[in-house]
Structure 1
């Protein structure tokens, strides 16, 4: 199957404007808008119940929106039936036909098309699709004779054989074991790059989205609260909820007491901290959080001088630690910041510090490595 040609690339432009979906008094999707260029790996990320799967169903045509429009390649497809849309979906549980072998599963949709497609063309397209997902040697097997990763690739081939403009994926890796899931992340991203078509990928796994997507839309309560590149999302979250949802973050509550040139001053119970980048415009007097990523903190033994270059320090004792192969995560109870999590590479200071609970340590960081984010609470909208 060739990489998308210019005509198909032109068809792949997806534009969603003010999309809403209501179920009685419940608004599952609320005023969602985004524009997706061809060839983009776009992840919809959020916790269970945030509306990401409902949004995917609206794109696929399995649900009818209460308001808003969906445009694809210049055409309005808001009310076009699912089987007429140039999009295909890979479902969470694959939905393979157990009584059909791999070849027949992949070619099923082509056999249903009208006017009919010649058998020779169907076979050629199925062979190309199976070769693309590296299953050309397993065409005669039944789904129950395949591993989880192989079944996932059959579902991908079945969706891609119709040459869709956009491929929709609803948590397709969630049923796989941890190592296979990582392997399939690499394969999926490589496949999307080769094909040159857009993927809309639903997941609740932050690491999965960060490692695969070109853009990530974080959803909360039916709305997209941040649509950014993975790097921007991780480094510049729009509020404390997004900061805590993406990766691990330490928070120290406080109040903004000054801002100038993109740098902010915050006053907390632990003291006043200046020269810290902020993720949004914050005026003095506003509630905010000093946010510190665990990997941007350093750990040392008191008196060793290892944190001498850090502009901010806090003393404490190790409460607990966990080993992760290439790194160690420590929870340190400090006198000023409370409990903070510190992540250190195993090849670094971890070899030189007694990580047992009760060990006295110093935690250090630089203001440029911290962030100040607006405080979000459940009463806020969204």
Structure 2
């Protein structure tokens, strides 16, 4: 088993089981072989009881939104306050498949761009008491998050595990548990938030960008998957499946879409906003030269329909096509691609 320490600007390797120097800070990802019993991977120093391979995680899940399914197991190991501003989440991914799994950008959101670090920046924490989503802290001058740095593609061999950590802005003192949300698993609810035995000063002392704590939106999906709606602050966004609105690769609204668009028009009539934004999206099939124009044409087609259906005067429509950018689900499954083929209609309540 190899333990990797990700120090600021320097990456060093040492075999597991070595004596730790006083004050050493462990910011690491660890890969352990399935036959190895020498101990666990490192989590940030000062945790409220470091997890070992023999200890039970706080919560576990297999992936649900990728083709890996139960071949990749994800554990939550600990969630600790390191000071009044920083909490650190420790997790583990285990390959249960008979062949290797390339983690790459599975825990990233949005997917990795060229030259960007591979990091678990797609993980977030949800404060249900205050209805807030905490995004990972970002170190000044760095891309990605203040978290484990995987540096390149990670080939996780059969039976191997990798431990990783992510730093977040702290919630208020009265918050005692949070939800851990990832891009590839169901949410992990009620993860206890404890106080670290000692703060990891390398993490807490890192200069960071302005923390991102977002208002938690209310999201509701129809049972048939044809539409969903998101309520955020004073805005309503209604996402309609392109599979309901259009024929394959077409931009002419079908007769079957009438009921859905009439319902949206009624909501716009009853709202107060004067501007309606219509955004078209596709899955990642094809390329931008096809997807962007198609998404633009579909947004314009929906605008034409709504202009006829909305009875309130003074409404301005704004349309845009984004192609396969800004996916709301994985493109690795048909279910995910169906969610990504959509038209979103947004307006003030």
Same fold (TM over 0.5): no
**Which is richer in helix?**
1
Q: Taking structure 2 as the reference length, what is the TM-score of the superposition?
A: 0.27
Q: Taking structure 1 as the reference length, what is the TM-score of the superposition?
A: 0.26
